[in-house]
Structure 1
Amino acid sequence: MDQVTVKAPAKLNLALDITGKTENGYHLMKMVMQAIDLYDTIRIRKNDTGKISLSCGLESVPCDERNIAYAAAEAFFQHCGIEERGVEIRLDKVIPQQAGMAGGSADGAGTLTVLNELYQTGLSLPELCGIGKTVGADLPFCLTGGTAVVEGIGEIITPIADFPDCDFVVAKPKGGISTQRAFSEFDRAEIGPCLDITAMVKAIEDRDVAGACAQMYNALARVCPLKEVEAIQNIMTSCGAKGALMTGSGSAVFGVFTDRGKAYACERRLSQRYEECFLCKPISHGPVIE
């Protein structure tokens, strides 16, 4: 086996709260995260160069050690003690960048999944997550997928019932705010924990989409209000969304629909204004080998 391809899904934060900080300054989180059927494709081929190389059709994507997929490959080889590291990684990106949808982490998770298959190392999901968390906080969830409560700095994953059938309309404005600045604004605001995870989990278990949407919350959106985010939310709710929220540190916004016709209409309306607009479904898995 010389080449393996994987589809790596994006994520949405159905809920995001910040509960404190670690001694080394990392923010402690409490979140409900959801994988969706919006995928980057990662193809990895072995070669005899002895080096990791990475390519991507987007000029804005770094193709060196700054890329999470590249860093994940290095971490994998280090963990497994593999000396012959000649691989060519190709990223075909669909997940928006700087959107709060874990596009980079999805690529890292997909890379670990591919390398585990390509080198027949037989690492378990917990072992892959252990490697992933050394590269980025979102990798453990991106490897796990589905619907889950995520805590700590992102490394504590508790899978829960699958989110009820629905449609997500996702739109990303051009404007945004860096993750670092978003967390800095939160620290300055000195807001305490506000989220009741238990109520959202129960609503999901009860297949109650409206009840789950009533519990949606994003602490970072609260301290970093963006006019474009608010505008998208207003359009989504006017189109019949049960709830609309910015995901992660933004700037992508998602709306939750139980009526597919209304979801299609919303996606069409938003696509006239925003280049990156998608109609998605919740999924119950992480990266999938093709």
Structure 2
Amino acid sequence: MKVRAYGKLNLTLDVLGRRPDGYHLLDTVMQSISVWDELDIQTSRQPGVHLQCNKDRLPTDSKNTVYRAAKFFLEDCGLADQGVYIFIKKYIPSRSGMGGGSADAAAALRGLNEMFKTGLTTEQLMAIGARVGADVPFCVMGGAARCTGVGANVEPVAPLPDCWLVVCKPPAGMSTPRAYSILDQYPLSSTQATPRMLEALEAGNLKRVAKCLGNRFDETIRLAPVRALKRAMVDAGALGSMMTGSGSSVYGIFVSEDQAREALETIDSMGRTFLAQPCSGI
């Protein structure tokens, strides 16, 4: 069984506080996009979870989100004596803010649910996913959503209007823990982007959406390649441009495919590029 694992973009990312346990409180709007990894899931005669990946540097043990998601699924469904083999074909870059690891875990949960005919609801799969990572519940549901708390409270919202997206992952990257350590040196989000974004999405106004983009990590980390990419996107005709997640990928919103493809050629030398559209994520 082959399952797609769709990446995501943060249209907004406000940081509202920090819990006593160190986790940050977020208010973010995320949108699934048509850039994906692919999982090949099969049963195995050997009990347990067995992973392989086309990227040798990625772990294939309990450090991998897919491994943990599959293990939790089998245990929760009374299938701990079963075996699964999963091959992960990675396309979404790591340390990009595009949610590749979370998307892979979510795809594993959906695929295993179908393979073993366990009949878990989306909400039940999301609950398992929340034990793997904060972005996994969103990736299980897909589409567009407002995610609050540590990011695992997911509420569907109006999707990004029809458009074309150019995404570029520059060579420079940053781990999520490092990004948060930098962010903690600054005050919390003062002007919150998410409420304005929700109004723009509900109105279905793409130009207004593009003007409401916001990301507290983008404001505080200020990586030089990210700033250069945002300028290049706007110069190429993007209605708006923003870094996604804790970085370092940057996206631009374009009205037409032709315009987006021209922009793609312009920035191709600045990193790994993708042409995408908003999608349901499942």
TM-score normalised to the size of structure 1?
A: 0.94
Within a 5 Å distance, the mapping from 1:241-256 to structure 2 comes to 241-256=238-253
Matched residue, 1:286: 281
1:237 Cα deviation (Å)?
0.2
Out of 133, 138, 148, the residue aligned to residue 141 of structure 1 is: 138
Matched residue, 2:111: 114
- 8 Å CA contact retained: 1:30, 1:152: yes
Matched residue, 1:160: 157
1:53 Cα deviation (Å)?
0.8
Q: Which runs of 5+ in 2 are unaligned?
A: none
Show CA shifts across 1:10-52 (max 9, x none). 0000000111122311111000100001111111110111121
Q: Does 1:277 align with 2:282?
A: no
Letter in 1 for 2:177: Q
- 8 Å CA contact retained: 1:168, 1:263: yes
Show CA shifts across 1:258-279 (max 9, x none). 13222110111212332x1001
Letter in 2 for 1:173: P
Matched residue, 1:65: 62
Letter in 2 for 1:286: G
1:180 Cα deviation (Å)?
0.7
Q: Where does structure 1 differ by over 6 angstroms across 4 or more consecutive aligned residues? A: none
Matched residue, 1:264: 261
Show CA shifts across 1:94-141 (max 9, x none). 111110001000100000001101111100000000000001000000
1:192 Cα deviation (Å)?
3.7
Query: Within 1, Cα distance between the matches of 2:118 and 2:281?
Result: 19
Matched residue, 2:86: 89
Q: Residue 188 of structure 1: SS of its match in structure 2? A: coil
1:85 Cα deviation (Å)?
2.8
Q: Which runs of 5+ in 1 are unaligned?
A: none
When structure 1 is superposed on structure 2, of 195-204 and 103-112 the one drifting more is 195-204
Structure-2 change in CA distance of 1:164 and 1:106 (3 Å):
same
Q: Percent identity?
A: 38
- Between the two proteins, the alignment pairs up a number of residues equal to 282
Show CA shifts across 1:44-94 (max 9, x none). 110111121100111121111111001101111121121223110000111
Query: Within 1, Cα distance between the matches of 2:82 and 2:4?
Result: 22
- 8 Å CA contact retained: 2:16, 2:188: no
Within a 5 Å distance, the mapping from 1:1-290 to structure 2 comes to 4-274=1-271, 276-283=272-279, 285-287=280-282
Q: Residue 96 of structure 2: SS of its match in structure 1? A: coil
TM-score normalised to the size of structure 2?
A: 0.97
- 8 Å CA contact retained: 1:182, 1:223: no
